Structure 1
Amino acid sequence: MNVKSTAGVFTLIAAISSSTVMAQTSSLLNASFDVARETFAAVNPKFVEHWQQQTGQSIKIDQSFAGSSRQAQDIIQGKKVDVVTFNQVTDIEALVERGIVAEDWAQRLPHNSSPYYSTITFLVREGNPKNIKDWDDLVRDDVSLVFSNPKTSGNARYSYLGAWLFAHQKFNGDEAKIREFVGQLLANVENFPTGSRGATVAFAQNGQGDVLLTFEFEERNILASPEFQDQGFEIIVPPSSVLAEFPVAVVDKVADERGSRDVATAFLQFLYTPDTQRLLSDFNYRVRDPAIVQETAATFPDVALINPTEVLGPWRAIQAKHFATDAVLDQLQAQ
């Protein structure tokens, strides 16, 4: 993946920092996805300190965590969120369609407003007893899976899309065979928790399933957790998987109502700064800053990342075909 310079963002941050911008609010609410809890517990205090140093103002950052799609629905229903740090473009697009986020949100920051990204990998039990190596192994009759519900979790939609893209490549785009493959994978799911953290609990604490499908960064964090180190879990990185970009956006309608646009924008820009990019890499995200990418090159295994939009079309088309009511996901789960 080509990584472009983010110098323009740093220039913009400097301009804001040197100005006499006065926030009209003393708080900011960030809605994020389930397994980003530890990430923003570390990032938020750094931004609070940065904002205080640059503007002389105190700011309190409140956090909301849930499945990415659940967060979007809550915002649609009136939840007053200033910024979203989601794991799926379709959840931001749902806000765009209702006039809550501006159409040009993806052009406001580099890399389509995605300061970091990941992919889907497989977490297996000690010794990899089912000999899991690739997506093909996940449709075997003797393998049971755990991942979150694609209806409520962006993480799970990436797991679904990872399987679909693998089958698309394997079967040269033959949709009947692709549907059969993905249908078999869904039939092997033992538990569909609402969000990603629930899936982790089901697999790691409750002993459900042979394989947990979730983000690479989450699996690496599980291995590093003292709570799970004695269980000997192993990460299996398939040769190819889905590119999972994590989009961020100001919730324009709320930011304008609350007078929080300046601080909300600065918060998202802060995610691109070198120190924050390094911090994000510490939580096992793949990041954009070229220097940090070089520093962490040995940390992340090679995997061919497939961008869903390059195979299946724009995100709105993917959402309509696969995840809308009575779309392909519903059809396959009803079989």
Structure 2
Amino acid sequence: MPDRRPRTVVVAVLAAVLLTLQGCSGPDGDDLTLVGFALPKNADEAAQAAFARTSEGAGTEWIQSYGASGDQSRAVARGLRADVVHFSVTPDLTRLVDAGLVGDDWDDDRHGGIMTESVVVLVVRAGNPLGIEGWDDLARPGLEVVTPNPGSSGAARWNVLGAWLHVAGDGGSDAEATRFLARVLANVEALPGSGREATAAFQSGTGDVLISSENEAILARQSGEDLEYLVPDDTLLIQNPGAVTRRADPRAADFLDFVRSAAGQTVYAAAGFRPLRTVVGVEVGTVDGATDPRNPYPVPRRLATVDDDLGGWDAVNAKFFAADGLVTRLLTESAR
């Protein structure tokens, strides 16, 4: 039998190095760590670069980790280092509050703890060959829909809630909204793990329509992808929370303050995010990649929110995403 001891030593050394990197700052003590969901990576990096040009952020360098929001939240709860967290949905952040890693006052500000905002949109092939006009088209027989998996992706939760509210928010009953959502989910061709993976699947040729966020659609077009998107007449406001952890470097709070300033939100607006409604003085200007670059963020006829139209995230998770929740049941039935 071959001697395994040399390999064991190497593995032990590597493990020690990784633990050291997780627990310490860089050689100059200037590193901050951001753990976030997949979609805002480019925007977060632009904000980090802008922050580094301020007196508070000068010299700051970043270690980053991006992925599906739920997976990222669970990783931090299990010990992944983070100074700043930026998640898709509030429950992924409150998981860290419950774990004692983020203060329970994280949302005690005029922004309610929100870091970025967007809306749910429908992404189609160049020229919109199937003539998609809104939510109703997603229930057409034979149409192939792409959306992330609600089990791992916060982006997916916004998407299915937007479809539900198309009916329920317009006076339809719960039963009518359920039937509509079931028809949409029956058309789902792929359930990738994150919003970014869903975009990649659509770009590779999967599906006819991608349910996504406006910022992700704009980024894809900024990156040269030949696709179009439309903002439905009725859609859902996406509100992504951000916070610093209890053991964060003090500069992490400075970064979050910068992000929520007019200068920071101007950076995010250029990258496809709608400016926070709580921040004044944001200079949006022309946004490359938007359907209308000079009017990049049109106001939908009806813009719903989780708090105002669905009773908040506790009620949403219990009703839609629990083990016996409505979306969980519909996806199981669709898989059958």
TM-score range, shorter chain: 0.7 to 0.9
**Who is 2:100 aligned against?**
99
Whole-Å separation in 1 of the counterparts to 2:319 and 2:283: 35
Cα distance change, pair 211–265 in 1 and its aligned pair in 2 (3 A) = same
Partner SS, residue 106 of structure 1:
coil
Q: Deviations over 1:287-306 (max 9, x none)?
A: 13332267568221221320
- 2:164 matches 1:164: yes
Which residue of 231, 238, 245 maps to 1:251?
245
Task: Name structure 1 gaps, 5 residues minimum.
Answer: 1-23
- 2:283 matches 1:287: no
Aligned amino acid, residue 41 of structure 1: E
**Who is 1:5 aligned against?**
none
Which residue of 28, 38, 45 maps to 1:41?
45
Whole-Å separation in 2 of the counterparts to 1:266 and 1:325: 39
Whole-Å separation in 1 of the counterparts to 2:251 and 2:212: 32
Q: Deviations over 1:79-110 (max 9, x none)?
A: 12111112211211222222222222111x33
**Who is 2:12 aligned against?**
none
**Who is 1:15 aligned against?**
none
**Who is 1:82 aligned against?**
83
1:240-319 matches, cutoff 5 A: 240-252=234-246, 254-255=247-248, 260=249, 262-288=250-276, 289-292=279-282, 295=285, 298-303=295-300, 304-319=302-317
Partner SS, residue 254 of structure 2:
helix
Whole-Å separation in 2 of the counterparts to 1:138 and 1:70: 28
- 2:135 matches 1:135: yes
**Who is 1:154 aligned against?**
154
Q: Deviations over 1:122-144 (max 9, x none)?
A: 11012212211111111111311
**TM superposition shift of 1:185:** 1.1
After superposition, the CA RMSD in angstroms is 2.0
- Asked whether the 8 Å contact 2:43–2:271 carries over to 1, the reply is yes
**Who is 1:238 aligned against?**
232
- Asked whether the 8 Å contact 2:266–2:284 carries over to 1, the reply is no
Aligned amino acid, residue 186 of structure 1: L
Whole-Å separation in 1 of the counterparts to 2:200 and 2:142: 22
Aligned amino acid, residue 291 of structure 1: G
Aligned amino acid, residue 149 of structure 2: N
Taking only the aligned residue pairs, the percentage that are identical comes to 32
Whole-Å separation in 2 of the counterparts to 1:142 and 1:132: 13
Cα distance change, pair 54–263 in 1 and its aligned pair in 2 (3 A) = closer
Whole-Å separation in 1 of the counterparts to 2:56 and 2:72: 31
- Asked whether the 8 Å contact 1:100–1:251 carries over to 2, the reply is yes
Partner SS, residue 112 of structure 2:
helix
Aligned amino acid, residue 194 of structure 2: G
Partner SS, residue 292 of structure 1:
coil
Whole-Å separation in 1 of the counterparts to 2:231 and 2:251: 38
**Who is 1:199 aligned against?**
198
Partner SS, residue 64 of structure 2:
strand
Whole-Å separation in 1 of the counterparts to 2:39 and 2:310: 27
**TM superposition shift of 1:49:** 3.2
- Asked whether the 8 Å contact 1:93–1:316 carries over to 2, the reply is no
Structure 1 runs of 4+ off > 6 angstroms? none
- 2:36 matches 1:32: yes
- Asked whether the 8 Å contact 1:115–1:287 carries over to 2, the reply is no
Q: Which moved more, 1:60-69 or 1:96-105?
A: 96-105
Whole-Å separation in 2 of the counterparts to 1:84 and 1:103: 14
**TM superposition shift of 1:326:** 2.6
**Who is 1:118 aligned against?**
118
**TM superposition shift of 1:25:** 5.0
Whole-Å separation in 1 of the counterparts to 2:297 and 2:92: 27
Whole-Å separation in 1 of the counterparts to 2:230 and 2:312: 29
Structure showing greater Rg: 2
Whole-Å separation in 1 of the counterparts to 2:169 and 2:51: 42
- TM-score normalized by the length of structure 1: 0.83
Whole-Å separation in 2 of the counterparts to 1:89 and 1:133: 30
Q: Which moved more, 1:41-50 or 1:209-218?
A: 41-50
- Asked whether the 8 Å contact 2:122–2:210 carries over to 1, the reply is yes
Name which structure has the greater RCO, CA cutoff 8 Å, separation 6+: 1
Whole-Å separation in 1 of the counterparts to 2:233 and 2:273: 18
Whole-Å separation in 1 of the counterparts to 2:173 and 2:56: 56
Whole-Å separation in 2 of the counterparts to 1:40 and 1:294: 17
Whole-Å separation in 1 of the counterparts to 2:30 and 2:299: 43
Q: Count how many residue pairs are aligned between Structure 1 and Structure 2.
A: 296
Higher helix share: 1
Aligned amino acid, residue 126 of structure 2: E
